[in-house]
Amino acid sequence: LARGVREPDLAGRHVVVSAGGTREPLDPVRFLGNRSSGKQGYALARTAAARGARVTLIAANTGLPDPAGVDVVRVGTAVQLREAVLKATPDADAVVMAAAVADFRPAAYATGKIKKKDGQEPEPIVLVRNPDILAEISADRPRPGQIVVGFAAETDDVLANGRAKLERKGCDLLVVNEVGERRTFGSEENEAVVLGADGSETAVPHGPKEALAETVWDLVTRRLP
Ligand code: CTP
Ligand code: CA
């Protein structure tokens, strides 16, 4: 094979990738959101397609153009993302949760715009927990041998927090990256450690998000039945 041309080692496989960040509406004009750009998830979708996979990309609020040859499902909230993931995964060989899912959503949605009132302090925003999609699909794999991958952005004790999170979630692989003011969000590059439930640890040096994506698929293909 020529340099840069990949062997189609995901041919005949179906992979599901979530990307972007969920938005949890407060009223028709406002939401609670996060800074995920979706670029890492899109890189995962593109590289999987280039390696021959059928790809379902579940995109939460990304504004990025649909990658060629990929089925794109657009969603807004965590609850919608969960629905789309559960719908796409029964026949999936691998599921990669690269989306930043809001942990909480406003307990109530105001159907009309929330207005301020003269001389009155604002009402506090009451939040409720969102479903944990990664934990749910890890615990209850719709297909035997399915490989489940999570992502975690951590600011402190990155590896220890990553190991604990991998166990808590019950996934096969967890991609852990350190975030800070200038790192990761919206950037074209990434740097991470991929932790395996088998105890493995794969460092991915600072580089394009495609390179991290290729490493993820290398680790996934090795684990597929
Ligand atoms: N995730 C998910 N559903 C949620 C929250 C997170 O599926 N409600 C997934 C993310 O897509 C990611 C992984 O879980 O792949 C880890 O997300 P993270 O926010 O780091 O994990 P949390 O358990 O929410 O931990 P924390 O309290 O640190 O936010
Ligand atoms: Ca979280």
- ipTM score here? 0.99
pLDDT band for 184, please (50, 70, 90 cuts): low
> Residue 139 to residues 52, 168, 194: CA-CA distances in angstroms?
28, 10, 20
- Tens of pLDDT, residue by residue over 148-162, are 999 999 988 999 999
Per-residue pLDDT tens for 37-74? 999 999 999 999 999 999 999 999 999 999 999 999 99
Confidence band (pLDDT; 50, 70, 90) for 178?
A: confident
Name all residues whose Cβ lies below 6 A of ligand 1. Answer: 78, 97, 99, 101, 103, 130, 132-134, 150-152, 165
For the CA of 136, the nearest atom of ligand 1: 7
d(CA 118, CA 176): 47
CA 29 to chain centre: 25
How many other CB atoms sit within 10 Å of the CB of residue 109? 11
Q: Is 39 annotated as a binding residue?
A: no
Give the residue numbers annotated as catalytic, written as ranges: 34
